[in-house]
Each structure stands twice: as structure tokens, then as C-alpha cells.
Amino acid sequence: DSGVTQTPKHLITATGQRVTLRCSPRSGDLSVYWYQQSLDQGLQFLIQYYNGEERAKGNILERFSAQQFPDLHSELNLSSLELGDSALYFCASSATGTRTGELFFGEGSRLTVL
Amino acid sequence: ELKVEQNPLFLSMQEGKNYTIYCNYSTTSDRLYWYRQDPGKSLESLFVLLSNGAVKQEGRLMASLDTKARLSTLHITAAVHDLSATYFCAVDMMNYGQNFVFGPGTRLSVLP
């Protein structure tokens, strides 16, 4: 158990809909990262937050948005869903004040868009 | 372009054999990470390599880093079925405005 909690674990929805994925980082970690893993694209970095502020942005679509709240949990919002958005979405957090920067991953949220 | 490549992408080997997975990256970085992922599961941290020449070992797995060659290796000794998984390397590219850039993964299958 990495200590990173993601909900929901599974989600099935229809095209055009909107969903919200939630992540609670490990206790004490200020950084939260979101990754998308699909069969043909591998692990794609979406976005990083550090202590509530956006720190880095990757290949995140305009239909997707995220935020990190004062209690450090984060939410990833996916809207106008398309079939190609079906994927495993991972949240990860990293330790604060250490040099390693190692990421600890949650169990993922599997999104299926029908 | 910021790229992380792994070789091979698929590896099928017999129990008891040795093999090496290679990870090449395109920019200078002195931080490299190896992760393991079982099908449909999360990513588990295996090794953190933080300097040139770093070598880490855990059980039948050994990882090394050569920052000058921009190369890391993951060596498997006397493979067992339980090592079957996908192995990812990831490079810290914060100096280039990116975070962890993951390689495509090497899917390892150890056959009895």
C-alpha cells in the first residue's frame, strides 16, 4: 500500500459526459501528479500540483482540468468525454524535503467511456 | 525532444536465465527510477538511482546508471515466474520543464 488513495476505482460512462477523479496523497506529501495510461500511449504525464499551485503541465487536453485543495487532495475533471479517453488514470505523490523525488502511485481509476 | 526509450519492449525468457533491460534517455539527468507494474495494477517503485555509477540491488534485480552514456540497465539474474510484469524506467527532467518522463515499458514474461 503506497498510501495514495484514489476513487473511484472503476467508472463507466457515456460519451459527452463529465467525471471527476479524486486523489488523496500520502500523508505529508505536497506534490500530486496525474498520469494517463492507455494501451497505445503508455504512461502520459498530465499535470502536477505542489501545495495547491500548478507546477507543471504535460499533455493534458483542454477538456481536462485539475486542482489541488487546501487539504492537499486533488481532483481531475474530465469533460465532453470521448471513446479515446478510456484509460487508467493514476495519481502519484512525492515526498517533501527529500532529494529522491520518488513518486508513489495510487491504485488508479479505470475509466471506460461507451 | 525529451525521450526515454527501453529495449526490448517485450521479453520472454525461461526461468533460471539472465537478461538485461536497457533504458536510454535523450537529455542530461542524474535521476532515474525503475518501476514495476503487474497487469491492471499500480506502479511499484523498485530502484532510485541518483548519481553516475549508482548501482542498486534487490533480490534478483540489479539496476545501474551511467549518466554520461545516458543509459540505465536493469539486470535480471536467474529469473523466476514471479518477476513477470512490465518494467518502466522514468527520468527526472525537471530541468527541461518536464517531470518524470516514463519509458514505454518492457513487458517481461518468465516461462517455467
Residue A64 has pLDDT above 90, yes or no: yes
Mean pLDDT of A13-25: 98
Question: Looking at residue B112, what is its pLDDT?
Answer: 85
pLDDT tens across B1-29, in order?
A: 778 999 999 999 999 999 999 999 998 87
Residue A97 has pLDDT above 60, yes or no: no
Residue A66 has pLDDT above 90, yes or no: yes
Answer yes or no: do B97 and A103 touch at CB < 8 A.
no
Answer yes or no: do B100 and A106 touch at CB < 8 A.
no
Residues of B in contact with A33 (CB under 8 A): 99-100
Question: Looking at residue B28, what is its pLDDT?
Answer: 80
d(CA B14, CA B85): 14
- What share of chain B has pLDDT > 70, as a percent? 96
Question: Looking at residue A88, what is its pLDDT?
Answer: 96
Answer yes or no: do A99 and B43 touch at CB < 8 A.
no
Mean pLDDT of chain A: 92
**Residue B59 Cα to chain centre, angstroms:** 15
Out of B4-18, B36-50, B93-107, which region has the weakest mean confidence (pLDDT)?
A: B93-107
Alpha-helix runs per DSSP H in A1-114: none
Sign of CA dihedral A39, A44, A46, A48: positive
Write the DSSP symbol of residue B7: E
Write the DSSP symbol of residue A58: -
Residue A100 has pLDDT above 80, yes or no: no
The reply to whether B96 touches chain A by the CB within 8 Å rule is: no
Residue B63 has pLDDT above 90, yes or no: yes
The reply to whether B36 touches chain A by the CB within 8 Å rule is: no
Residue in chain A closest to B43 (alpha carbons) equals A105
Quickly state the pLDDT bin for B96 (edges 50, 70, 90).
low
Quickly state the pLDDT bin for B97 (edges 50, 70, 90).
low
Q: Tell me: cis bond preceding B112? Omega within 30 of 0 counts.
A: no
| Residue from B42, B86, B89, B96 to probe the interface with A (highest A Cβ count within 10 Å) | B42
**Residue A68 Cα to chain centre, angstroms:** 11
The reply to whether A34 touches chain B by the CB within 8 Å rule is: no
The reply to whether B104 touches chain A by the CB within 8 Å rule is: yes
Question: Looking at residue A102, what is its pLDDT?
Answer: 86
d(CA B42, CA B19): 24
Residues of A in contact with B103 (CB under 8 A): 42
Mean pLDDT of A4-16: 97
Measured in angstroms, the CA of A79 and the nearest CA of chain B are apart by 24
d(CA B72, CA B64): 5
